Amino acid sequence: DGGITQSPKYLFRKEGQNVTLSCEQNLNHDAMYWYRQDPGQGLRLIYYSQIVNDFQKGDIAEGYSVSREKKESFPLTVTSAQKNPTAFYLCASMRREGLGEQYFGPGTRLTVT
Amino acid sequence: GQQVMQIPQYQHVQEGEDFTTYCNSSTTLSNIQWYKQRPGGHPVFLIQLVKSGEVKKQKRLTFQFGEAKKNSSLHITATQTTDVGTYFCAEQNSGGSNYKLTFGKGTLLTVNP
């Protein structure tokens, strides 16, 4: 089955700790994305990557970091500098060529206390 | 950044009633995508509209792109309980990037059986 996997589904951390969320895709897509979803706020773009070893900040990148060492993987680190890290995090991917849809993973719900 | 405004934020209907959500922009949109997110789930692509005045149908769902490409709508005829979820519009090519999507805040549809 082709798709996007995110793990874990639920994640709990203490305030002040960095945490890394996993995102893997086997769709052979070039572009990958991280979104944050809060109630009533829609989806806000954190970071995106068009190609391996390259990534760009989205609209709310502060307090987050990413890497893109492999085409299949785009991990997101939520650092202690992120003031309100509790949220639902969605990873997505898209083919590079032309206009196209984004495919989303199942998401990781992060709770920081 | 560029925004697409989506209304209403919430809509509750009786099963069998129609439902419409609207997406508006102050600037010309390059194209519009629509996604559906079931409660507890992740967004799933429904359709993409590119041409001015375009109308596309998927069974009970009708999607329209305005003549000026500044607005779009999703209309569901005779809602069913399976239609429950949040419907998002999203503009691709926002900010000059072919890879970025800017999402509206979504319309949460609930259906009373």
Q: Is the pLDDT assigned to residue A97 strictly greater than 70?
A: no
- Alpha-carbon distance of A36 to B99, in angstroms, equals 17
Residues of chain A with Cβ-Cβ distance to B105 below 8 Å are 40-42
Residues 92 to 111 of B: which have CB under 8 A from any A CB?
A: 92-93, 97-106
Could you report the per-residue pLDDT of A12-53, keeping only the tens digit for each?
999 999 999 999 999 999 999 999 999 878 899 999 998 899
- Alpha-carbon distance of A75 to A90, in angstroms, equals 11
**B93 falls in which pLDDT band (50, 70, 90)?**
low
Say if residues B107 and B11 touch (Cβ distance below 8 Å). yes
Structure tokens at A42: 């829609």
Of A45, A102, A107, Cβ closest to residue B45: A102
Of B99, B103, B106, Cβ closest to residue A31: B99
- Alpha-carbon distance of B17 to B83, in angstroms, equals 11
Structure tokens at B79: 């809602």
Q: Is the pLDDT assigned to residue B44 strictly greater than 80?
A: yes
Q: Is the pLDDT assigned to residue B94 strictly greater than 60?
A: no
Residues 61 to 90 of B: which have CB under 8 A from any A CB?
A: 88, 90
